[in-house]
Amino acid sequence: MSDEMIDLVLSSGVLSFDGRVFERFGFGFGESTRVHASEIEEIVLVRKRVVGTLLEVKARGASGMTISPDVDDAEYARLETFVANVRSTLGGAR
């Protein structure tokens, strides 16, 4: 795993990954949510016209997270890049 910090600041919140912990700040939640990289099984990012954007970090146990960030096209492109960078740091297509 990498020691490189990857941060993404969006209008509705912040996502951060340091190679060990994936963390969410904001997005309508009062507290941050953290998931350790060793627990992450899959990261799903979808954008559908009716439901909008959905980012799901699937993890073992109850430690996963789901957010629906309100993003425009430019922020969605940055979100896609962030997710791709996290996946590559995790070592595959999780």
Helical (H) or strand (E) element with 80: helix 73-90
The residues spanned by each domain of the chain are 6-90
Model confidence, pTM? 0.87
Give the per-residue pLDDT at 85. Answer: 93
> Tens digit of pLDDT for each residue in 28-63?
888 889 999 999 999 999 998 777 899 999 998 777
Contacts of residues 76-80 at CB distance under 8 Å and 24 or more positions apart, as own/partner, are 76/47, 78/8, 78/10, 79/8, 79/10, 79/15, 79/45, 79/53, 79/55, 80/45
**CATH classification for the domain delimited by 6-90, as one of 2.30.29.30, 3.50.50.60, 2.60.120.10, 2.10.10.100:** 2.30.29.30
With tokens 């600041």, the residue in question is: 9
